[in-house]
Amino acid sequence: MAKTIAAISTPPGTGGIAVIRISGDDAVSIADKVFTGSVRLCDVKSHTVHYGYVHDGSGRKTDEVLVTVMRAPKTFTREDVVEISTHGGMTASRETLDAIILAGADIAEPGEFTKRAFLNGRIDLSQAEAVIDIINSTNTLAKNNALSQLEGTLSAEIKKIRGKLVQLASQMQVIIDYPDEDLEDVTTDDIHAICLDCLNDTKKLLSTADNGILLRDGIKTAIVGKPNVGKSSLLNLLSRTNRAIVTDIAGTTRDVIEEHVNLDGIPLILADTAGIHPTDDLVEKIGIEKSLQSIDDANLVIIVLDGSSVPDDDDMHIIKKTMHKSRIILINKTDILKGKYTEQIRSAANGSPVIEISALSGSGADELKNAIREIYNIGEISAQSGAVITNLRHKKALHKAQEALENAVGCISSGMPADIASIDINAAIEAFGEITGETVSDLIIDNIFHSFCVGK
Ligand code: GDP
């Protein structure tokens, strides 16, 4: 029998309410020991809410509370669950939790409620990971992808592919075990076709991974350019705050400022960097070093040029230096002068989008958003009803599966015996199972749940 666990499930700090969750066979009886109201909780119907007080060991009231009683199996953990809502802040909730621990519950480990939901079969591993992704999501797109994963979109896709392979593997096992019998209900062509089909499905899932992971975590975007071209003004325009200090003394942005921005659903982690230009100023030099580093680290580079003055060697140096990156070139200050240098920049841009903008008036901002959408296929991903891979662990498992299936297809194509291909097919089955948690080690499971917060 699993021990009954309890934890505060709301974040620390002041707030309207705090919720303490208790889960396990003794959840209701433990809650009854600390609760006084007009009912005994062991007598109430499931999924009902009750008003009363919690008392500590000495009979002193810890708080006025509402208690929700939810009996197994229709609960988050599939065990009996009691949730006690106390007033917010640390004191009332902490004292109430202490009373519950004294009454016999154990303190829950990080992620233990969700782990129980997984171990009790209510959700699979990818769905459990979706719970943490919903909590940690910084933008609607990431949250929607996580919600869809929690609803089982990815699990269903994986189970479909894995199911086909499991059936194939068992049919092949019969041929391998009884080679002399005339049992061949699966031909080499069948094996080849099924493996190829599964391989294509795997590739399709993998094709969503790079952008899916980026969109979950945010696109690291470095805003680079010479001093005074309008980088801070652009950051302000995009974040609609005055977080970066805007001045017209060249070289005032000496450190890298990072800002999480949700640009109409596009999650950007913007880094406004020190202006890149030759300098003898030591502090500025350090800032410029950091700018160059942030170009290396960035997923996307936004180069800002001052469109009101002729492009010089420093501008061209930045354009050259970022040639290998995903980038967008902005010609700023087009409210002063428009179009004069655009063609010249375009011919140096090597096909990267070049957009005329005014960080001051906001003109061109929509074109910038559209260019980012296009680079990261955001329209396609948000319209997609199928699974999107947003988790590096899933991506790695899919890569393993892809490799195994490619080997299987190769074996069959080159006329090798079925038992060789069946080794690869079993490897693919195992890799798919890692995603849903069927074939994953306890150590990995523990690691995943330990990254959760306490109370989840
Ligand atoms: P940074 O050094 O690249 O971060 O440049 P800032 O954002 O500090 O801007 C330098 C100066 O250019 C400030 O005086 C801004 O008001 C001005 N500026 C920035 N963007 C524009 C723009 O689009 N149009 C005009 N007219 N001025 C701008």
CA 207 to chain centre: 16
**CA 444 to centroid of ligand 1, rounded, Å:** 50
Residue 283 has pLDDT above 70, yes or no: no
233 lines ligand 1 (CB under 6 A): yes
Determine the average pLDDT of the residues in 116-132: 94
Whole-number percent of the chain with pLDDT over 90: 60
Q: Is the pLDDT of residue 12 over 90?
A: no
Ligand 1: does its nearest atom lie under 6 Å from the Cβ of 286? no
Distance 360 CA to ligand 1 centre (A): 7
Predicted local distance difference test score (pLDDT) of residue 255: 55
pTM of the model: 0.78
The residue whose CA is least distant from atom 26 of ligand 1 is 333
Position 416 scores a pLDDT of 87
pLDDT of residue 245: 45
Higher pLDDT, 248 or 403: 403
Least confident of 188-192, 238-242, 270-274: 238-242
**Whole-number average pLDDT of the chain:** 88
pLDDT at 285: 61
Ligand 1 binding pocket includes 246 (Cβ within 6 Å):
yes
Residue whose CA is closest, atom 12 of ligand 1? Answer: 230
Over range 387-396, report the average pLDDT: 93
